[in-house]
Chain A
Amino acid sequence: MLEVKNLNVSIGDRKILNDFCITVKDGEVAAIMGPNGTGKSTLSYVMSGRPGYTVESGEVLLNGVNLLDFEPNERAAKGLFLAFQYPLEIPGVATMTFLKAALNAQRKYRGEPELSTPELMKKVNAAASKLGIKSDMMKRALNVGFSGGEKKRMDILQMALLEPSFGILDETDSGLDIDALRIVSEGVNSLRDPKRGFLVITHYQRLLDYIVPDTVHVMAGGRIVRTGGKELALELEKSGYAEYLGEEKAA
């Protein structure tokens, strides 16, 4: 279970998250929607530990452990996974090398035995074929020269291999055409599990046609201003965010 409690975050002297609270139960898919610049990406970065933000107060509890006390890699090993809005290109690092390093670093942190290369290959190949990732991509440098869709699929492949207990999808739909969106969404849906929660961050309803959420939260002014079921997304698609922009100014 993920519980974010009274999270206050700023960059420099600009307040971004304002007493932000959310709870996502195991097996739940929660969507956060909101206009640009309302702090959605900041939330995902702060949860995963990217430097550059000042956390003034609050907690991010994953299964009762406050992630804010740990380094980004430790948070990952404790079960948090962030699918990036724009996965980075890492020239010179072969994708397979990277996957092995990541998987084994997490296993080592948790005191589990490392995977051998054949074991890893087997896992990777199985996961890759589900996502329609060609084997020659695994030999290339990570994300280098990949299309937007290929990069996203690679991120989802990593999630499938790392088996996190909680996944954050940050604007996963950006830069995707309909076919890529469908493949990526199917990848995510196949990872839905009673023991795994998701936070889907998006500002379009479109993604939620493919990854159907259990709950929808509207974020404005650095906090959740409204919560409802999946029908809330459709309502927002019609009415827009205008009525919440007052919150923005108040923040």
Chain B
Amino acid sequence: MSAQIIPSRTPAETTLVESFGAVKASLPGSADVAKLREDNFAAFVEAGLPHRRVEAWHYTDLRTIMREALPLAAAPSPAALEGLKKDVAALPLHGTKLVIVDGAFVPELSDKAPEGVTISSLATVLSSGKPDLLTLLAGQGMGAGDAIVALNAAMMQDGIVIEVAPGAVVAEPLNLIYATASATPVARFSRSLVSVGAKASVAIAESSLGEGGRTGQTNGCLIFSVEDEAKVTHTSLLTGSVAGSIRLETFMVSLGARVKFDSFALISGQGLTRRQIFLRFNGEESESTMRGASLLRGREYADTTLFAEHLAPSCVGREIFKYILDDEAVGVFQGKIHVAPEAQQTDGRMLSKALLLTDGVVMNNKPELEIFADDVACAHGATCGGLSEEQIFYLQARGLPYKEAEALLLEAFAAELVDELEDEKTAETLRGEISSWLAARVVK
């Protein structure tokens, strides 16, 4: 007989319990939504903050790391929003700007929806929304059992709901811009949905404005529901987080049949970033490519954890994540491909590649395959190593100084994933981010 361990609540958990009690009445949503919040919060309380004995969080022991829970962000003041106006206008982004300030969608700062696209705030949908959207917002069971996803569902303050009409071809990207109006670090919980109709085509780009999403504690959830034969590209810039900040980003993607889905995320910054991806193939013959690059130095830390579920036959999944680790940085990649019995002819490949620039860095790789179908081609791989001295010498022998040779190879390593992006302007922006990270590198 083993004694049951009942962990005491951490100060952060205690604050979250108090905080939920205080705000739940004012959080948006119908009575059904309020019930959903209660259920999710109960699930969170039972599990507590994720810790190392929770397999999916083994390396990122949030229970220990998160010493306190910050106060919930207040609704931004009109003056603060006014102040953000010119910053938004100055953003060098092409396409439609949609601004989320401390978790809340702000139509006044945002562009109008292009043709074929309907945009609402999450609060509106939760209060008066259509039942089908509410189902999609619940993530269709993806992330079930994850305490951070449950906490997000309980506390979600606002977010954006984007509906792309069937057959609509949205030419320019829809930019989700995260901004902040708070002078002090706060906690924000946002949940957004992109529902893409059959045969539609859209590009979504997530980025930050100023310290938006880069300070305090962020628990964000972005859900994609993609209908048959649609085409979606997605990029996310999770860069520039400040020291002490915690950014938890959940990315849920469910795909119909013959969909093409392509996603790239760039992670850098001094705060802790945990990105969790739940990918589900519901329809046959879909293709998904998930890519990510994490550039970490100092004592920075980033965790990407991916769960790809093949539930339908003949889908192609490509997952490739790269890390450049310098100084004493720590990288985590956990990836699991699950192939259900009915998902015959699945072609799933997952790869993690880490460049370790010093002896002081740590890379944790945990690739897994869980296959219940008998006619599949699945593979996973993980590599860790330094830059090739042979390649550096080759470049030096052609005239490049050592540092330049090294920088060229590092840039090539990270930018290789960006080169595959279709949208050249987006690729250019991402290349710029990678170059500036490398330029700031202190070569010892």
A101 — which chain B residues lie within 8 A by C-beta?
400, 404, 408
Binds A, one of B81-89, B159-167, B246-254, B390-398: B390-398
B396 contacts A49, C-beta separation under 8 Å? yes
Instruction: Decide yes or no: A49 and B415 within 8 Å by CB, A71-B402, A88-B390, A105-B404 being known contacts.
Output: no
Check: B389 CB closer than 8 A to any chain A CB. Answer: yes
Cβ of B416 within 8 Å of any chain A Cβ, yes or no, is: yes
Closest to B413 in A: A92
CB-CB < 8 A to A141: which residues of B?
412
Pick 23 A–B contacts, CB within 8 A, sort by A: A49-B397, A50-B393, A50-B397, A71-B401, A73-B400, A73-B401, A77-B399, A82-B397, A87-B394, A88-B390, A90-B409, A90-B412, A92-B412, A92-B413, A92-B415, A92-B416, A92-B419, A93-B409, A93-B412, A98-B408, A101-B404, A102-B398, A105-B400
| Residue interface bits A22-56, CB-to-B below 8 A is 1, else 0 | 00000000000000000000000000111100000
Chain B residues within 8 Å of A106, by CB: 399
A72 interface neighbour in B396, B415, B419, Cβ under 8 Å: B396
Q: Does A202 contact B (CB under 8 A)?
A: no
Q: Which residues in B have some Cβ–Cβ distance to A below 8 Å?
A: 388-391, 393-402, 404-405, 408-409, 411-413, 415-416, 419
From A80, which residue of chain B is reached at the shortest CB distance?
A: B397
Whether A103 sits at the interface, judged by CB under 8 Å, is yes
- Give bound CA distance, A92 to B419, whole Å: 8
- Chain A residues 65 to 94 lying within 8 A of chain B, measured CB to CB, are 71-73, 75-77, 82, 84, 87-88, 90-93
Least Cβ distance of A75 to chain B in Å? 8
Q: Indicate which residue in A51, A77, A84 contacts B389 across the interface (CB closer than 8 Å).
A: A51
Q: Assess whether A88 is in contact with B391, with CB atoms less than 8 Å apart.
A: yes
Q: Are A72 and B397 in contact (CB under 8 A)?
A: yes
Q: From the candidates B388, B390, B395, B411, name the one contacting A102 in the complex (CB within 8 A).
A: B395
Q: Please, which residues of chain A bring their CB within 8 A of the CB of B395?
A: 90, 98, 102
Whether A9 sits at the interface, judged by CB under 8 Å, is no
- Chain A 147-163 interface 0/1 with B at a Cβ cutoff of 8 Å (1 = within): 00000000000100010
A51, B393: Cβ atoms under 8 Å? Answer: yes
> A84 CA to B396 CA in the complex, in Å?
13
Complex Cα spacing A102 to B399, Å: 5
Known: A51-B389, A72-B393, A105-B404. A91 touches B399 (CB 8 A): no
Q: Determine the chain A residues whose CB is within 8 A of the CB of B394 once the complex forms.
A: 84, 87-88, 90
Inside 8 A of B389's CB, which chain A residues have their CB? 51
Residue of A nearest to B411 (CB): A92
Does the CB pair A109–B399 fall under 8 Å? yes
Q: A73-B405, A92-B412, A103-B399 are in contact. List 17 more A-B contacts (CB 8 A).
A: A71-B401, A72-B396, A72-B397, A73-B396, A73-B401, A76-B399, A88-B391, A88-B394, A90-B394, A92-B415, A92-B419, A93-B412, A101-B400, A105-B399, A105-B401, A106-B399, A158-B398
